[in-house]
Amino acid sequence: MQKALPVIALLAAAQPALAAEVNLYSYRQPELLAPLTEAFTKATGIEVNVAYLSDGMVERLQAEGDRSPADLVFTVDVSRLAAIVHAGVTQPVTSPVLEANVPAQYHAPDGSWWGLTTRARIVYASKDRVDPSEVTSYEDLADPKWRGRLCTRSGTHPYNVALAAAHLYHHDEETTKAWLEGLKANLARKPQGNDRAQVKAIWSGECDIALGNTYYMGQMLSDDEQKEWAEAVNVLFPVFEDGGTHENISGVAMTKSAPNRDNALKMMEFLTSPEAQEIYAHANFEYPVAPGSEADDLVKSWGSYEADPVNLMALADRRADALRLIEEVDYDG
């Protein structure tokens, strides 16, 4: 079963490291991990200790150094995974099981992090005011036909930076900057709120389309207040003109210290198994990465899409340039 422990308790529990446990630092909420940790313990007998961190994971791991009790780290967004790796607090991991369960585009080429679930960055569109056939490509969102009809959260939020990095992967800097300027010109209001707030804005008539992650639809449909917002929009899957639908990822990496390395590897292999993938995907309304695993029925009801076939580390490598362009056009101004 899962024990959600503060970091100080984890430090105490890891002195000395116990053979039948594994310690996690997670940016993902404990309730999202609970079904997975409980299933892993039931299958292996290995206890799982989870420390939920709201921020500062890299700094904590750096401060703890070789004495860190953490074996694995969980986070969302490829830029955050890359930042943890680049900080030198993780170690590469490979195994035949991981290689079989996680397609190449969903893990770092050197095995320094492994994807668990994906989410598509899609368009929410008003059912009343937008014909689904109008939404085609990400490039098209900068077309003047959307003038005063687009809502987004801050351009500097990691989800939008990742999308801009994907555009930069497919196009040069000049084209990407012009695209960002087009998006800004089409905004119905100053960027604000989270992805759910954009859906509420469509529902209230402030805008007609918005950028958002797929899983928010599942979360809103499960919320009594927000269900009405969600039912006012369609989920549409734009593509890049020479690619597919942009995805981001949740993932796991093994820490450099990993006092329970063998148990940690067992957990990574379990997390990428089709059984665990479906548990995780159902809990989070996300898409599993393991071949042969299926998304939740609600998620499948939104339709299928062809994922952009780029390795996500290639997007992380373009993040700084994408952020610079977003700031140059003063997207949030």
| Average of per-residue pLDDT values in the chain | 93
Quote the CA–CA distance of 40 and 46 in Å, as a whole number: 7
pLDDT of 8: 32
Helix 261-271 and helix 30-44, axial crossing angle in degrees, nearest 10: 110
Check residue 252 and give its pLDDT.
97
| Range scoring the smallest mean pLDDT among 13-27, 155-169, 267-281, 300-314 | 13-27
**Structure tokens belonging to residue 27:** 């940016």
Strand ranges inside 27-137, DSSP E? 47-52, 72-76, 90-91, 114-126
Which comes out higher in pLDDT, residue 2 or 241?
Answer: 241
Q: What is the mean pLDDT of residues 308-318?
A: 93
**Confidence label for 301 from pLDDT (cuts 50, 70 and 90):** very high
pLDDT given at position 269: 98
pLDDT of residue 10 exceeding 80, the answer is no
**For residue 16, is pLDDT > 80?**
no
| Residue 18, pLDDT above cutoff 50 | no
Looking at residue 29, its pLDDT comes to 82
Is residue 17 over pLDDT 60? no
Q: What is the pLDDT of residue 170?
A: 98
Distance CA 212, CA 164 (A): 14
pLDDT band for 166, please (50, 70, 90 cuts): very high
Distance of alpha carbon 164 from alpha carbon 196, whole angstroms: 20
Which pLDDT band holds residue 308 (cuts at 50, 70, 90)? very high
Question: Residue 30: is its pLDDT beyond 90?
Answer: no
Query: What are residue 177's phi and psi, to 5 degrees?
Result: -65, -40
Rounded CA gap, 5 and 53, in Å? 11
Q: For 3-17, 73-87, 212-226, 250-264, which range has the lowest pLDDT when averaged over its residues?
A: 3-17
Stretch 278-300: mean pLDDT, rounded? 93
| CATH architecture label of 120-246+307-328 | 3-Layer(aba) Sandwich (3.40)
pTM as predicted: 0.88
Question: What is the DSSP code (8-state) at residue 187?
Answer: B
What's domain 2-118+247-300's architecture? 3-Layer(aba) Sandwich (3.40)
The mean pLDDT value for 116-122 works out to 96
Q: Which ranges in the chain are annotated with CATH 3.40.190.10?
A: 2-118+247-300, 120-246+307-328
Q: 236: helix, coil or strand?
A: strand
Give the mean model confidence (pLDDT) for residues 182-206: 98
